[in-house]
């Protein structure tokens, strides 16, 4: 049952010891072994040793025998298997739940959790087990959440407060005895710690010096998994978006079916089972496109933040949406932006300092970058300066409409110093598009017969000037924000100039502070992440359109079912180097290898046991063959002795007879 040490005394009595020298029998006294609950895990028993009412835990000292084997199995194999199986289970639950929530069920509803939530409040709190020796009251609340399955380590942890300070604590990973957290409890709850793909929050309670908690994020997960849905109609096997190509397209571009990466974004109206808003992708040239709010198909409008004037590379697959979950964006919208200046001496943009603040999420270190613009700087120049900063990307653009074109004398129209030919919308648009200087500046135009839409993908200023000298020579110029100005040939300075806008895209934890003229002082940045992705390839032409809508009644759509099946082989665990299948296979291999090692050890131990028993039997046991041989020897000796007595008697009788005769 257990490995013993025996010491023989001079009086032939023996003392019996276990573990690291704990006496079971010493002289005429005996001491008790027993069991007790583990201090940090009430589900397991430890071996206890009692002397004079004092009980100590000697589990780590026990070896040999059936009990030692069971303890070794529990510590070296069972705990490891529990944790490894728990990591696989957690990975399965998180991956399936995440993908299922990206799908749509038979009732057009966004999928919910397929399995129980790995971060259910009750489950998070059961992962922290208090030490039985923690001082009263037992009011501490600790939550252990799963943050990143790729970083999970199959191990338990010990959270321990300093024995002399109720504010200082550490967290140690037990699999390799590595300290992963050293922190100070400030008194402001929760106190958050992130490591090994986990988030440990000290939520509340009277934490005291010497407190200890065992954190078991993985060990019990295989018993915690359960299916969260009961109706097969709620299995989300379809994708909640669908894409269509306009029948009027004349280019060869095509759009993918689309992939949903996250339904918990502004793009989805989960309550109403709709895309919010439906989207229109419109090509403004063969290499530029806008993404618009298509809620009113007769009048698509810009999104907030806008996705306009985006470059497209013909002939290859172009991803349309951002996949950066942390990126935010905003547009210059200060008091100077898009104000029409009735002059030719610049756009009227003021001098302004634009400051960016970055907070490091790990160290909380704050860094600042800034750009100061000059008077009348164009949107193009401002964007170039902003692009030199770290973590900041800027795109400049300009847009105008020319309408109500009237010609009396006849009229002439000069655009950015270039004299345009013609006096109607179509002719003026053709003149803009054929002008090499304007094309070099990234300017293009489109006419619907009465109104000209003018774009600049570089953000240069627009200056329009009417010539002709007569009040009847006039045009109406309208900027992107809807501000209009009528300029006529009768003006003393018959011209209007206005600048473009700058769209600013910022990385994680970056904020912008403007001066109010170009950018608001504290502008509201909006996430660019919509949780969807489509790809367009081929050769589009101006006017080609593609739409993205909610996949209402999307029958015969198994895209999410295919995605769920692919989870089996995706590299999700161990720093995204192992799939769930590979991890489970490794677990089976570990168990098989351990079993083989134990079988070899058992066979070797049995061989030693048999030899020892044989040696013992040779000394203390009865060998029947040897006893038979000895019996025969004794029998022969007896017979020989009997013959000797008979001969001696005969000889003696002969001697007596001879003497008497």
3-class SS of residue 377: coil
Residues 219 and 152 sit within 8 Å (Cβ to Cβ)? no
Alpha-carbon gap, residue 62 to 150, rounded angstroms: 37
Distance between CA atoms of residues 11 and 27, nearest Å? 10
Confirm if 454 and 399 have CB atoms less than 8 A apart. yes
Q: Which residues pair with 160 in a beta bridge?
A: 170, 212
Within 13 Å and on the Cβ side, how many CA atoms surround 80? Answer: 14
In Å, what is the CA distance from 406 to each residue of 10, 324, 425, 452, 464?
129, 48, 10, 13, 15
Of 315, 303, 316, the closest CA to residue 532 belongs to 303
Phi, psi at 532, each rounded to 5°: -125, 160
Q: State residue 462's pLDDT score.
A: 94
- Cβ distance 400 to 376 under 8 Å? no
CB neighbour list of residue 53: distance below 8 Å, 6 or more residues apart: none
Residue with tokens 């017979």: 639
113 and 97 Cβ atoms separated by less than 8 Å: yes
Under-50 pLDDT residues of the chain: none
3-state class of 73 per DSSP?
helix
**Residue 621's pLDDT is what?**
65
Q: What strand order describes the sheet that includes 157-161?
A: 128-130, 212-215, 157-161, 168-173, 178-184
**SS3 labels along 151-185:** HCCCCCEEEEECCCCCCEEEEEECCCCEEEEEEEC
Q: Residue 63's pLDDT is what? A: 80
Strands (E), 209-352: 212-215, 241-245, 254-255, 259-260, 268-269, 274-275, 279-285, 288-293, 301-311, 318-319, 328-331
In the numeric block, the tokens 């000298």 are attached to: 469
* SS3 state of residue 52: coil
Q: What is the pLDDT of residues 603-617, one digit of tens each?
A: 888 898 888 888 887
Burial class (CB in 10 A: 0-12, 13-18, 19+), 509: middle
Distance CA 67, CA 35 (A): 12
Run of H or E residues at 4: strand 4-8
Give the C-alpha separation, 557 to 261, whole Å: 17
Give pLDDT tens digits for 531-555.
999 999 999 999 999 999 999 988 7
Which helix or strand (DSSP H or E) is residue 193 part of?
A: strand 191-195
Spatial distance between the Cα atoms of 532 and 276, rounded to a whole number of angstroms: 12
Which of 333, 375, 318, 327 minimizes the C-alpha distance to 352?
Answer: 375
* CA torsion angle 342 346 349 351 (round to 10): -140
Predicted local distance difference test score (pLDDT) of residue 169: 95
251 in Cβ contact with 236 (< 8 Å):
no
Cα gap 294→301, rounded to integer Å: 7
Scored b (16 or more CB within 10 A) or e, 245-255 reads eeeebebebeb
Q: 3-state DSSP call for residue 99?
A: helix
Contacts of 531 (CB under 8 A, 6+ apart): 260, 261, 262, 263, 264, 265, 267, 268
By the 10 Å C-beta count (0-12 exposed, 13-18 middle, 19+ buried), 482 is classed as: exposed
| H-run or E-run covering 570 | none
Classify 567 as helix, strand or coil.
Answer: helix
CA 408 – CA 396 distance, rounded (Å) = 36
Q: What is the 3-state secondary structure (H, E, C) of 115-133?
A: ECCCCCHHHHHHCEEECCC
At 240, give phi and psi (nearest 5°): -85, 5
Structure tokens at 199: 């988030």
């Amino acid at each position: 049952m257990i490995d013993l040490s025996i010491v023989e005394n001079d009086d032939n009595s023996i003392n019996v010891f276990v573990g690291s020298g704990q006496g079971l029998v010493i002289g005429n006294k005996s001491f008790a072994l027993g069991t007790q609950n583990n201090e940090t895990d009430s589900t397991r028993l430890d071996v206890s040793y009692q002397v004079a009412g004092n009980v100590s835990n000697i589990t780590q000292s026990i070896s040999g025998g059936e009990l030692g084997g069971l303890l070794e199995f529990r510590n070296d194999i069972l705990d490891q298997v529990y944790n490894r199986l728990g990591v696989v289970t957690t990975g399965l639950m998180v991956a399936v739940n995440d993908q299922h929530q990206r799908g749509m069920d038979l009732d057009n509803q966004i999928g919910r959790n397929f399995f129980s939530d790995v971060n259910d409040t009750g489950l998070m709190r059961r992962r922290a087990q208090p030490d039985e020796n923690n001082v009263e009251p037992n009011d501490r609340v600790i939550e252990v959440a799963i943050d990143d399955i790729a970083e999970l380590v199959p191990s338990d942890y010990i959270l321990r407060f300093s024995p002399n300070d109720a504010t200082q604590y550490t967290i140690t990973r037990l699999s390799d005895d590595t300290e992963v957290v050293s922190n100070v409890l400030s008194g402001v709850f929760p106190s958050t710690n992130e490591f090994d793909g986990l988030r440990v929050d000290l939520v509340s309670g009277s934490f005291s010096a010497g407190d200890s908690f065992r954190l078991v994020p993985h060990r019990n997960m295989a018993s915690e998994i359960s299916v969260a849905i009961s109706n097969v109609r709620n299995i989300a096997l379809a994708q909640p978006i669908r894409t269509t190509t306009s029948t009027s397209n004349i280019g060869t571009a095509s759009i993918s079916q689309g992939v949903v990466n996250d339904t918990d974004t502004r793009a989805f109206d989960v309550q109403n089972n709709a895309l919010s808003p439906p989207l229109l992708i419109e090509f403004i040239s063969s290499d530029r496109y806008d993404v618009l709010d298509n809620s009113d198909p007769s009048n698509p409008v810009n999104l907030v933040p806008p996705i306009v004037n985006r470059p497209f590379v013909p002939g290859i697959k172009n991803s349309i949406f951002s996949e950066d979950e942390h990126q935010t964006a905003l547009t210059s919208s200060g008091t100077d932006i898009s104000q029409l200046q009735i002059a030719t001496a610049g756009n009227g943009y003021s001098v302004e300092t634009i400051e960016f603040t970055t907070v490091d999420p790990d160290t909380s270190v704050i860094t600042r970058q800034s750009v100061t613009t000059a008077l009348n700087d164009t949107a193009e120049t401002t964007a170039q300066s902003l692009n030199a900063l770290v973590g900041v990307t800027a795109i400049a653009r300009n847009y105008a409409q020319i309408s109500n074109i009237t010609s009396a004398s006849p009229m002439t129209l000069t655009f950015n110093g270039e004299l345009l030919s013609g006096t109607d919308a179509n002719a003026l648009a053709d003149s803009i598009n054929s002008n090499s200087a304007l094309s070099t500046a990234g300017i293009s135009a489109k006419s619907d017969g009465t109104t000209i839409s003018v774009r600049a993908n570089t953000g240069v200023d627009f200056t329009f000037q009417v010539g002709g000298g007569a009040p009847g020579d006039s045009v109406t110029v309208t900027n992107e924000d809807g501000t209009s100005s009528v300029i006529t040939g009768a003006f003393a300075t018959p011209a209007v100039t206005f600048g473009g806008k700058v769209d600013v895209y910022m990385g994680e934890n970056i904020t912008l502070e403007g001066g109010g003229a170009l950018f608001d002082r504290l502008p509201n940045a909006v996430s660019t992440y919509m949780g969807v992705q489509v790809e367009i390839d081929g050769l589009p032409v101006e006017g080609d359109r593609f739409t993205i809508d909610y996949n209402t009644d999307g029958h015969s759509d198994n895209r999410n079912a295919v995605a769920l099946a692919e989870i089996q082989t995706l590299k999700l665990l161990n720093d995204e180097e192992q799939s769930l299948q590979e991890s489970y296979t490794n677990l089976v291999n570990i168990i098989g290898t351990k079993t083989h090692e134990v079988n070899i050890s058992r066979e070797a131990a049995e061989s030693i046991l048999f030899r020892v028993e044989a040696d013992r039997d040779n000394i203390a046991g009865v060998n029947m063959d040897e006893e038979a041989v000895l019996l025969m020897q004794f029998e022969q000796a007896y017979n020989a002795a009997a013959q000797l007595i008979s001969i001696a008697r005969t000889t003696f009788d002969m001697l007596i007879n001879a003497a008497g005769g």
